Structure 1
Amino acid sequence: MKKLLVLLFAAAMMLGCTKDENVAPTYTGASQNIGNGKAYSWIKFTTDNKPSSLGFTMTKGALDNLPHGGIALVLSLPNEAVGQVPFDHIMLDYLHTGHEPPGTYDVAHFDMHFYIQALAERKAIPAYPVAPAKFDNLPAAGYIPTNYIRLPAGVPEMGVHWADPASPELSGKGKFTETLIYGSYDGKMTFIEPMVSHEFLSSKPNLTKSMPLPTKFAKAGYYPMKYSIKQVGDDIVVSLDDLMMMQ
């Protein structure tokens, strides 16, 4: 009987190991406080070790007790993401009164920048009047989605923002809830940014959309085909999904 139990235990261990090998791993970055909750980055891989999804989670309470002065939070990516995706870090900005243009984005919202630029390089971007030539050095055709338009001037430590003129808030068909922004600086595409209102994040969202994609990529790597904004249990999860190798 004892021998049988030992054999059954060994078989169970072998089955457990086999099962674990078929589970796609997820790795998380360090968490930071936001509101009454926390935020942390993460990356998911397929079972054959290819990156499949990159994003961040805001835990229960993260939307509460946010300062009127705003938040600028840098989320470092997990170590396992380094060299696996073209993205360097995530910048999570909260603006209680929003920003320009008036009547469009001047509501409480989050700017969720997924930066391709290195952190030090991004932080060195000055105000527009200091280096207008670098802001106005736009990426060549194909490196920004073809239907996107440039928004005026540029933002220090960010760059130029590009938006879809067909989005409800820009086309006059509705108010701003969420939209997808691209960014550039000195001739290169530098970030992808879901921009999402506080109200929308509080509404238990369950959104997945196809990405508007450029046709060219200056930096080869795994880029998203979709993006998602979802309530998962008590958490809010924002992700760039269906990562695919683009040359």
Structure 2
Amino acid sequence: MKQFITFTLSALLFLTGCSENDTPVAPTYKGAEQALGNGKAYSWVKFSTDNIPTSIGFTLTKGALDNLPHGGVALVLSLPTEAVGKTPFDHIMLDYLHTGHEPPGVYDVAHFDMHFYMQSLAERKAIPIYDAAKAKFDNLPAAGYIPSPYIRLPAGVPEMGVHWADPRSAELAGTGKFTETLIFGSYDGKVTFIEPMVAYEFLKSSPNLTKAVPTPTKFAKAGYFPMKYSIKQVGDEIVVSLDDLMMMQ
């Protein structure tokens, strides 16, 4: 009888395409590809084997940093459908600025603004110029919702909002040039995005960076918040991600 039971179990495993050593695989879901330079960009979200989001980011394929227009790029990356509602993030916006932006001598070099937005595309697109909605731009999140010691940068940007920067970063502290930094954003009293801002030359230098994300002490609603962010060369590709997502209340 023992031999019969052993044979039956083996046959069942063979017929179902499984083995006794099979283990669950943590899935990664990929968003739609968008053309960028001579390559492509696409979003993705990784989950644990028990369907908990662990990392969200995007990939720039080989050639994506080549032949970028001097007039800049504004590219919206939709998240994969499997990720909708599973993280606080709604979409990713890649802005390439060939001559950078203000303040002069700080961020006026070629770089990418990589916004991970926590508001819908329609809400973001409705943000006007600063002078048309000063009250909403100047309605800042209450203490604790922006990590310390971040400071507000002047005015605000249409279709983005208010930007907050870390005064300890090399380019603001006067201890070095801008290579990469992490920006927070807000509009009308709410935190609306997390933004790795990365110099073009840094992306071309085979980066291998992982840093802690400054953590606020308060959150508007429960959700998975990143503990780290990464900017890495992986083979011929550049991968930028918000990692170690943790449920915050």
Q: By the TM > 0.5 criterion, same fold? A: yes
Q: Does 1:109 align with 2:111?
A: yes
1:91 aligns with 2:93: yes
Using the TM superposition, give the Cα deviation of residue 13 of structure 1 relative to its aligned residue in structure 2, in angstroms. Answer: 2.1
Deviations 1:22-51 (A, max 9, x none): 211000000000000000000000111100
Rounded Cα–Cα distance in structure 1 between residues aligned with 2:235 and 2:12: 37
Runs of 4+ in 1 over 6 A off after TM superposition: none
Instruction: Name 2:243's counterpart in structure 1.
Output: 241
Q: 1:237 & 1:15 partners in 2: Cα distance?
A: 34
Closer, same or farther: CA 9–47 of 1 in aligned 2, 3 Å: closer
Give, in whole Å, the separation in 1 of the partners of 2:46 and 2:99: 34
Q: Select the residue among 202, 205, 229 that pairs with 2:204.
A: 202
The answer for the alignment partner of 2:68 in structure 1 is 66
Check conservation: 2:46, 2:54, Cα contact below 8 A.
Answer: yes
Matched, 1:174 2:176: yes
Q: How far does residue 219 in structure 1 lie from its aligned partner after superposition?
A: 2.5
CA distance in 1, matches of 2:51, 2:119: 24
Cα RMSD over matched residues? 1.7
**Counterpart pick for 1:41 among 40, 43, 46:** 43
Corresponding residue to 1:14 among 10, 18, 24: 18
Aligned residue pairs total: 242
Q: Which of 93, 111, 134 in structure 2 is aligned with 1:132?
A: 134
Instruction: Supply the distance in 1 between the matched residues of 2:53 and 2:124 (Cα, whole angstroms).
Output: 24
Distance 1:74 1:54 in 2: 15
Q: Render the CA deviation track for 1:146-171: whole Å, top value 9, x for unaligned.
A: 20000000000000000000000000
Give the partner amino acid of 2:19. L
Within 1, Cα distance between the matches of 2:168 and 2:218? 22
Once the two structures are superposed, what CA deviation does each residue of 1:105-141 show, in whole Å capped at 9, x if it has no partner? Answer: 0000000000001100000000000010100000000
Q: Match for 2:34 among 25, 32, 35?
A: 32
User: SS at 2:17's partner residue?
Assistant: helix
Partner of 1:156: 158
Distance 2:117 2:16 in 1: 44
* Counterpart Cα distance in 1 of 2:228 and 2:220: 20
Q: Distance in 2 between matches of 1:7 and 1:127?
A: 68
Q: TM-score, normalised by structure 2?
A: 0.94
**What amino acid is aligned across from residue 14 of structure 1 in structure 2?**
C
| SS state at 2:18 partner | helix
Q: Deviations over 1:42-76 (max 9, x none)?
A: 00001111000000000000000000000000000
Q: Which residue of 2 aligns with 1:227?
A: 229
Kindly provide the amino acid, as one letter, of the partner of residue 23 in structure 1. Answer: V
Deviation of residue 15 (structure 1)? 1.7
Q: Which has the larger radius of gyration?
A: 2
Query: Unpaired runs of 5+ in structure 2?
Result: 1-6
Q: Distance in 2 between matches of 1:180 and 1:67?
A: 24
How far apart in 2 are the matches of 1:95 and 1:220? Answer: 34
CA distance in 2, matches of 1:219, 1:76: 22
Contact 2:13 2:19 in 1 (8 A): no
Sequence identity percentage: 78
TM-score of the superposed pair, with normalisation by structure 1:
0.94
